[in-house]
Amino acid sequence: MTDYRPNQIESKWQAYWENNETFRVEAQPGKPKYYVLDMFPYPSGSGLHVGHVEGYTATDIVARFKRARGFNVLHPMGWDAFGLPAEQYAIQTGTHPSVKTAENIATFKRQLKALGFSYDWSREINTTDPGYYKWTQWIFLQLYKKGLAYVAEVPVNWCPALGTVLANEEVIDGKSERGGHPVVRKPMRQWMLAITKYADRLLDDLDDLNWPDHLSDMQRHWIGKSRGAEVDFKVDPDSTGGLDANVRVFTTRPDTLFGATYMVLSPEHPLVDTITADARKAEVQAYCTAAATKSELERSELQKDKTGVFTGAYAINPVNDEKIPIWVADYVLISYGTGAIMAVPAHDQRDFEFATKYDIAIRQVISGGDIAEEAYSGDGELVNSGQLNGLSVAEAKEKITAWLEAEGKGAATINYKLRDWLFSRQRYWGEPFPIIHREDGETVALPEEQLPLRLPEVEAYHPSGTGESPLATIEDWVNTVDADTGIAARRETNTMPQWAGSCWYYLRYLDPKNDEEPWAQDKEKYWMPVDLYVGGAEHAVLHLLYARFWHKVLYDIGVVSTKEPFERVVNQGMILGRTYRYWEKADGTVLDKAGADALSDDEQDSLKEVVIAPADVRWADDAPMHPEHDIVLDQLSEKMSKSRGNVVNPDDVIQEYGADSLRLYEMFLGPLEQTKPWDPRGVNGVHRFLSRIWRLVVEKDMSEAEDAAQAEPKLSSHILDFEPTGDELKELHKTIMQVSEHTEALRFNTAIAQMMAFVNFLYKLDDVSRQSVESLVIMLSPFAPHIAEEIWSILGHDASISLAEWPDYDESLTREDSVEMAVQIMGKVRGTIEVPVDADQDTVVAAAHADENIARYLDGQQIRKIIYVPGRILNFVISK
């Protein structure tokens, strides 16, 4: 018998797979396909941590499982390598972004190969490769030709320190996510993509996808389709020195117009400066300047304290001619609706809080609720509403909208939260736009045959300081001539955002070496759509939305055959890292949790909480201990981060336990979609399980070896060639059924649990059939492929287990012959009986009477009723 040595086994089989291109795949018309895709990584300098490994392991299990089930499986990998982090590193170090990117990719690729993932590496892509971004530029030109790409001056998140525009998601508390630099809102000239023209299709087509409800709902919320009315409020000329102007608002509740007691403009609204009274200009300007430092996400946060300033101007409510004050508040966004709202504090909680804070009138116009305490948003009859009194909300909406249209004061309309996509960045490290601006004022697209427009090789990547990209300083690249007219021109100096390369990469995997077209039509028709797409929840909205938008445009021009790119999307849960804490008193005394909890409230207020990284913990009797004092540390589970020191490098786990143990442990932690804590001791448990399988099947041949370490492994003598029968046959088929069903459903933890139970069963047998062992090893192979390959070889197979067929099962052999059933008397369980699964009621009742323990409760009792649920429960109702 021998020890399981993963470090020797795993490198051997990884080399075998690479040398034999085991997972290389081509389209095979007539053979069913399965396209399983990972959200490809940004190759950061820190490499992978074990949280990344979870999703990649899940897709690899599916890929290997589907191959064994007879599918032609496409399972590719590549790199989302443009973006701000690489550019910032270049600025700090003077190293070209491509150099650091190449180093990072090499690290990531080494780690992925060390985990045994069955990628077709012949299809590897890199978004920074000119052969790739040639086609990103080509897709942009298709958008431009369709009128979906245009230039506009729009408010953006501008970071002076980084010298670029940031997406809302890259701004936290008014500062850049990377570096913590101040960010301001300012108007800038930007390229935009007209995604709003596809809003309805992006919304409607969600119904046809196999996506989790929460994921579809997030997309719907972001698109934010709402029906309502646009209403014109005339600015009161008496309050603005005779100004003749209207403020248009969008509202989903035109029925509440009589309850509008004030209006709010966003700080960016063009009328703010015009209508603000001279006495209030300084205060309004200061407020607008402060609002410019906040992201839209911060401003729209429902829980934040509402702030605003009065402009000194008034508007006239079109339904009752009442003059209402016009305020400026940052909770109103210029990017939604018209950038102005009518405020109905009696029936909108946000408006209620604002009106309460600033002592503005609150008028109820729908019966119900207690508006002294909070806004009422329910249904009811209209009150205090003139011609609408007595109507229901639905009736009032219809009537007031018709009146507004008839009076020329408004109209029914549909609005979307979705805004056109801001599609340019002031960076060097991104895809150049294939656009030139001629000196005669014309903007011209480059001919497709001139693609790719390559990034120039430069020595400096510092922001220009003017709001332009670093490319603007490279005169010999910027200055050009329009080839068709000979007119002098300047190239577009903004670059595309990182989203660009990730919007369509799944299509390039289909035909990555094609220089003549982005992909061959026959390959696209064979492989698309993606059958399973797995990645982190941070991409659940924008990446998926943008990719779906581009795909629909490509569908419209006839270069893809499916309306949607991703048939099924799954977000894996986060794996949390461990940190540890203790408490310290002012005099330096350290306390554990119990000691801290025992203090008075005043004493607890003075305690200092200290959090330490796993590397600083010492262990005693399986308890985490303070490095110097004998106290047990409190354990926390938090997002893995360098600052917390709780990042777990997969290289370290592989070195100690092997890749198979790491893969199996991450899948055994719990359901794929759940957030789960990492336990550094947990990997050892699955390592022991793999060692048990090894010992079950393998023993050493000592005949030629001088010592045990040199002995060759051979098949154990109790693995015999016979057909399994009886309990072994039933357990085998039950295991095949459950592992198959659970793997298909991505319930990997329960599939592993069933294999563990089967191994326990096999250990109880004197002799084990080869069929049971081979079936077990094939089922194990998607989860732990290296040990499965080694055992498969020891079993005498020359070909890779990756080519083996998944075992079938006979459903009749998975059913139990008998079932254990609870017997109740007056609802209380008095015992259990074992009966045939197909037993009728009379048989079950007789078995209950034959059980001594149950019979003593029934003796002398009159049975009034028998309640029988086949296979589950028997309940006797007796007379009292």
**DSSP conformation letters of 294-329:** S-HHHHT-TTSPP-EEEEEEEEE-TTT--EEEEEEE
Q: Are residues 97 and 178 in the same domain?
A: no
Q: Taking Cα atoms as reference points, which of 867, 113, 96, 151 lies closest to residue 492?
A: 151
640: its two tokens: 């893995």
- Of the candidates 585, 619, 638, which is a domain's last residue? 638
**What is the residue type of 474?**
I
Q: Taking Cα atoms as reference points, which of 490, 459, 460 lies closest to residue 475?
A: 490
Write down the pLDDT at residue 465: 64
In a domain, 630, yes or no: yes
In what helix (H) or strand (E) does residue 700 lie, and over which residues does it extend?
strand 698-701
User: For every residue of 58-70, which 3-state class applies, written as one string?
Assistant: HHHHHHHHHHHCC
Per the CB < 8 A criterion, the answer to whether 661 and 787 are in contact is no
CA–CA–CA angle 274, 278, 280 (5° rounding) = 95
- Mean predicted confidence (pLDDT) in 766-787: 97
Q: What is the CATH number of the domain that holds 551?
A: 3.40.50.620
Q: Are residues 411 and 352 in the same domain?
A: yes
Quick check: 721 pLDDT over 50? yes
Give the whole-angstrom CA distance, residue 350 versus residue 302.
8
Give the whole-angstrom CA distance, residue 880 versus residue 878.
6
830: its two tokens: 């008095």
Q: Are residues 289 and 394 in the same domain?
A: yes
In a domain, 375, yes or no: yes
Q: Would you put residue 57 in left (φ > 0), alpha (ψ -120 to 50) or beta? A: alpha
In what helix (H) or strand (E) does residue 685 lie, and over which residues does it extend?
helix 682-697
Local structure of 713: helix, strand or coil: strand
Q: Taking Cα atoms as reference points, which of 57, 49, 111 lies closest to residue 648?
A: 49
Tens of pLDDT, residues 333-382: 887 789 999 999 999 999 999 999 999 999 999 999 999 999 999 999 99
In a domain, 130, yes or no: yes
Q: Are residues 369 and 465 in the same domain?
A: no
In a domain, 315, yes or no: yes
Tens of pLDDT, residues 435-453: 999 999 999 999 999 999 9
Give the whole-angstrom CA distance, residue 157 versus residue 268.
13
Q: Are residues 89 and 104 in the same domain?
A: yes
Quick check: 816 pLDDT over 90? no
Beta strands (DSSP E) in 236-306 are 246-251, 262-265
Tens of pLDDT, residues 530-548: 999 999 888 888 999 999 9
Determine how β-strand 308-316 pairs with β-strand 340-343.
unpaired
- Of the candidates 638, 659, 691, which is a domain's last residue? 638
Residue 699, beta-bridge partner list: 714
Q: Phi first, then psi: what are they for 470, rounded to 5°?
A: -55, -25
End-to-end CA distance of the chain: 65
Give the whole-angstrom CA distance, residue 390 versus residue 383.
7
- Mean predicted confidence (pLDDT) in 230-259: 96
**What is the residue type of 50?**
V
In a domain, 337, yes or no: yes
- Mean predicted confidence (pLDDT) in 7-22: 96
- Mean predicted confidence (pLDDT) in 541-565: 97
Rg, the chain, Cα only: 34
Sorted by sequence, the CB contacts under 8 Å of residue 323 that are 6+ apart come out as: 236, 239, 314, 315, 316, 317
Q: Are residues 152 and 108 in the same domain?
A: no
Cβ atoms within 10 A of the Cβ of 436, count? 22
**What is the residue type of 570?**
V
Q: Phi first, then psi: what are they for 786, rounded to 5°?
A: -70, -50
Tens of pLDDT, residues 656-672: 999 999 999 999 999 99
Write down the pLDDT at residue 1: 40
Give the whole-angstrom CA distance, residue 696 versus residue 200.
59
In a domain, 668, yes or no: no
Q: What is the CATH number of the domain that holds 860?
A: 3.10.20.590
Q: What is the percentage of the chain residues whose pLDDT exceeds 70?
A: 97
Per the CB < 8 A criterion, the answer to whether 234 and 314 are in contact is no
Q: Are residues 346 and 231 in the same domain?
A: yes
Write down the pLDDT at residue 242: 92
Q: Are residues 457 and 541 in the same domain?
A: no
Q: 134: annotated binding-site residue?
A: no
Q: Are residues 443 and 398 in the same domain?
A: no
Q: Are residues 451 and 504 in the same domain?
A: no
Sorted by sequence, the CB contacts under 8 Å of residue 758 that are 6+ apart come out as: 731, 732, 735, 776
pLDDT band with cut points at 50, 70 and 90 for residue 167:
confident
**DSSP conformation letters of 599-613:** S-HHHHHT-EEEEE-
Give the whole-angstrom CA distance, residue 872 versus residue 851.
17
Cβ atoms within 10 A of the Cβ of 127, count? 25
Highest mean pLDDT among 16-20, 241-245, 592-596, 636-640: 16-20
**What is the residue type of 283?**
E
Q: Are residues 548 and 515 in the same domain?
A: yes
198: its two tokens: 């596809």
Q: Are residues 263 and 405 in the same domain?
A: yes
In a domain, 702, yes or no: no
- Of the candidates 464, 491, 518, which is a domain's last residue? 491
Determine how β-strand 184-193 pairs with β-strand 149-159.
antiparallel
Quick check: 25 pLDDT over 90? yes
Cβ atoms within 10 A of the Cβ of 863, count? 12
Q: Phi first, then psi: what are they for 280, rounded to 5°?
A: -110, 0
In what helix (H) or strand (E) does residue 873 lie, and over which residues does it extend?
strand 873-878
Domain range holding 252?
A: 226-415
In what helix (H) or strand (E) does residue 355 lie, and over which residues does it extend?
helix 349-358
Give CA 467 to chain center in angstroms: 32
Tens of pLDDT, residues 460-475: 677 666 678 889 888 9
- Mean predicted confidence (pLDDT) in 123-135: 97
User: For every residue of 160-208, which 3-state class applies, written as one string?
Assistant: CCCCEEECHHHEECCEECCCCCECEEEEEEEEEECHHHHHHHHHHHHHH
Mean pLDDT rounded to a whole number for the chain = 92
Quick check: 297 pLDDT over 70? no
Quick check: 860 pLDDT over 90? no
Sorted by sequence, the CB contacts under 8 Å of residue 790 that are 6+ apart come out as: 9, 12, 13, 713
Q: How many domains does the chain have?
A: 5
Residue 715, beta-bridge partner list: 698
**What is the residue type of 618?**
R
In sign, the C-alpha dihedral spanning 870, 871, 872, 877 is positive
Give the whole-angstrom CA distance, residue 647 versus residue 30.
46
User: For every residue of 615-669, which 3-state class applies, written as one string?
Assistant: HHCEEECCEEECCCCCCECEEEEECCCCCCCCCCCHHHHHHHHCHHHHHHHHHHC
In a domain, 547, yes or no: yes
283: its two tokens: 């205060």
- Mean predicted confidence (pLDDT) in 224-228: 94
- Mean predicted confidence (pLDDT) in 179-205: 92
Write down the pLDDT at residue 705: 56
- Mean predicted confidence (pLDDT) in 180-186: 86
Q: Taking Cα atoms as reference points, which of 452, 448, 428, 501 lies closest to residue 125?
A: 501
Per the CB < 8 A criterion, the answer to whether 198 and 190 are in contact is no
Q: What is the CATH number of the domain that holds 336?
A: 3.90.740.10
Give the whole-angstrom CA distance, residue 493 versus residue 480.
12
**What is the residue type of 387?**
Q
